[in-house]
Structure 1
Amino acid sequence: MSSTKIHLSKAAFTLSAPDIRRLPVDSGIEVAFAGRSNAGKSSALNTLTNQRGLARISKTPGRTQLINVFEVAENRRLIDLPGYGFAKVPLEMKKKWQKALGEYLEKRRCLKGIVILMDIRHPLKDLDMDLIHWAVDSDLPILALLTKCDKLSQGKRSAEVLAVKKALAPLNADITVQAFSSLKYTGAEQADAIICAWLEQDAPEYDLPDEDELDNSEEFTEQD
């Protein structure tokens, strides 16, 4: 493990990028946050960093058009990826967002863990499963946060978590599933521990990719 001690509360906005060419150099460790546009991704980021306004919360789900970068420590970053699957925006704009998302997932080598956020009342939609399968195939650990769990009773919440665990068990992958509430801070301490552990890993060194390599990425395409 790295000697770098991570505190998510130190996260600071660095930049917004339309694609991976505008991101910081592909080195260090990144943890990405991804999910459907109405899954509460921005709220979760704000809760985990204990910063009310770190990630902007839009009144219209799906308005996050860019890859947003937050530096937590030197060469340690949280990445807020464009939401998918819900935005009421023009098709061409949606395709552009999805291309940026797919490109990041396909080519960003410093990505070492992915937080996938799903509304606990509607988990494991087609695009969620596409993303989970991609992460599993890439040997990336997954933290599946079932958001908005405060909207369910304790019994129903536990049943939903168990159902998702059972559905994902056949993948035989490094997947942690837990209920999460940005409003009540449910699951925040456990999520913080997992994300910090990922960020505290020793960072491998890579040669920088050339432009041709970046251009050959696959799109994360909408299925539903």
Structure 2
Amino acid sequence: MIIKQSKYAVSAVKESQYPQDDLPEIALAGRSNVGKSSLINTFLGRKNLARTSSQPGKTQTLNFYLANEAFYLVDVPGYGFAKVSQKKREQFGEMIQDYLETRADLCGLILLIDARHQPTKDDISMYNYALLLNLPILVVCTKMDKLKKNEVQQVQSRLGKYLDLNHDNVTVLTFSSVTKLHLAELGDWIEDKVSE
């Protein structure tokens, strides 16, 4: 997939603020600081379209990025150790739930998990929730460039200990926004889902 143009479209916290043009959407979920913004920027070929932050939990809205005037990538607030109040966290949860459960244009979920660590409780919950919603899921193991050679082979088998990956609608990919590892495969998966 070649990205010819991309732009930030809108930030939303409720349905009335979502784009109304009925283009297909791919949501990206993962814990704070897992590399969602870096993946979006790398995939779209832009340096700072999605703001990367050293302060986890910066994304507090659903951020829609329009690619090729044809589909949206939707950056979902990171879960995990975001320094936000319990009340705010519950609001995030409701906002994400509303979007994932009711959005007719949603045609897949990319779940990002840090390859250096085992999946967190939140990762496992989000994965099982996406399975429940019957969404096509791409599990992306990020930050592969930070692993030693002997650790690379263990990533997928470790993942399989925590997530039941034996589903027709689940794909696993290792990825690095630094080396662009499996960037083409990421594009293929997205293209496949948005053109269905």
**Cα 1:95–1:9 shift into 2, 3 Å:** farther
Pairs aligned (count): 196
Change over 3 Å in CA distance of 1:107–1:179 after alignment to 2: same
Match of 2:95, SS state, is: helix
Q: Secondary structure at the match of 2:29?
A: strand
Greater relative contact order (CA < 8 Å, ≥ 6 in sequence): 1
**Aligned counterparts of 1:162 and 1:184: Cα–Cα separation in 2:** 22
Shift of 1:121: 1.7
Structure 1 residue 19, shift from structure 2 partner = 2.1
User: Using the alignment, how far apart are the partners of 1:136 and 1:66 within structure 2?
Assistant: 23
CA RMSD between the two structures: 1.9
**Unaligned runs of at least 5 residues, structure 2:** none
Structure 2 residue 87 is matched with structure 1 residue 107:
no
1:73-110: per-residue Cα shift (whole Å, max 9, x none)?
44521111111111012222222222211111111121
1:9/1:51 contact within 8 Å kept: no
Shift of 1:133: 1.5
Kindly, what percent of the aligned residue pairs are identical?
34
Counterpart position of 1:76: 71
CA distance 1:102–1:26, change in 2 (3 Å): farther
- Give the superposition deviation at 1:8: 3.5
Equivalent residue for 2:151, pick from 131, 134, 156: 156
Match of residue 175 from structure 1: 170
Structure index of larger Rg: 1
**Matches of 2:21 and 2:15, distance apart in 1:** 9
Asked if structure 2 preserves the Cα contact closer than 8 Å seen for 1:38 and 1:86, the reply is no
2:151 alignment partner AA: K
Q: Any conservation in 2 of the 1:19–1:66 contact (CA below 8 Å)?
A: no
Contact 1:164-1:177 at 8 Å conserved across structures: no
Q: How does 1:1-40 map to 2 (within 5 A)?
A: 7-25=2-20, 27-40=22-35
Aligned to 2:183: 188
Q: In the alignment, is the contact (CA less than 8 A) between 2:44 and 2:67 conserved in 1?
A: no
SS of the residue aligned with 1:89?
Answer: coil
Give CA deviations for 1:160-187 in whole Å, capped at 9, x if unaligned. Answer: 1233246444653421112111111112
Match of 1:122 among 105, 117, 120: 117
C-alpha distance in 1 between matches for 2:173 and 2:18: 30
Structure 1: tracts of 5 or more residues without a match = 1-5, 202-224
The residue aligned with 1:85 is 80
CA contact (8 A) 2:25 2:72 kept: yes
- What is the CA-CA distance between 1:16 and the residue it aligns to? 0.7
Residue matched to 1:57: 52
TM-aligned CA deviation for residue 129 of structure 1: 1.6
Match of 1:133, SS state, is: helix
**Preserved contact between residue 124 and residue 162 of structure 2 (Cα < 8 Å):** no
CA distance in structure 2 between the aligned counterparts of 1:107 and 1:197, rounded to whole angstroms: 22
| Structure 2 letter corresponding to 1:19 | K
Equivalent residue number for residue 126 of structure 2: 131
Please identify runs of 4+ aligned residues in structure 1 that moved more than 4 A. Answer: none
